């Protein structure tokens, strides 16, 4: 069974790179170009893992993270916040809201992000 992944990212180049990489790895990928669409997708699609950009139009990734954690059928979803915001305040807020992991885009290649996702899935797969 394919691992289901939601990728919420407004940078179309990154969406293309990440979605291709995860599809090649056998993931079932749903893409949202903003937080509002991510929440709409989450009403019908329950991912095993969600990768959320923090800064997105309309609804930001932190609001999507809050939605995931407050929704009973979604609160076990592995959540990775992928952002270029690397300040301590952002990191603290992300973890306060219950994110599984916080990654800084500029510090990682798509392959490194995919490997991190796979390692988190290995850790949490008992729950999947």
pLDDT digits (tens, 9 = 90+) for 61-71: 999 999 999 99
Q: What stretches in the chain show pLDDT beneath 50?
A: 128
Distance CA 49, CA 103 (A): 14
* Annotated domain spans of the chain: 4-17+35-124
Residues in the chain, overall count: 128
Angle at which helices 110-124 and 12-24 cross, to 10°: 50
Give, in words, the CATH class of 4-17+35-124: alpha beta
Mean pLDDT over each residue of the chain, to the nearest integer: 90
């Amino acid at each position: 069974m394919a691992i289901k992944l939601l990728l919420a990212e407004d940078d179309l180049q990154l969406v293309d790179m990440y979605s291709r990489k995860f599809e090649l790895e056998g993931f079932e990928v749903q893409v949202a170009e903003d937080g509002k669409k991510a929440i709409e997708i989450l009403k019908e699609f329950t991912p095993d893992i969600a990768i959320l950009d923090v800064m997105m139009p309309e609804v930001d990734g932190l609001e999507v993270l809050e939605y995931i954690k407050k929704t009973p059928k979604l609160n076990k979803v592995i959540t990775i916040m992928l952002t270029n915001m690397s300040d301590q305040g952002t990191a603290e807020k992300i973890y306060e809201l219950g994110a599984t992991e916080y990654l800084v885009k500029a510090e990682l290649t798509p392959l490194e992000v995919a490997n991190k996702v796979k390692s988190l899935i290995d850790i949490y797969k008992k729950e999947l």
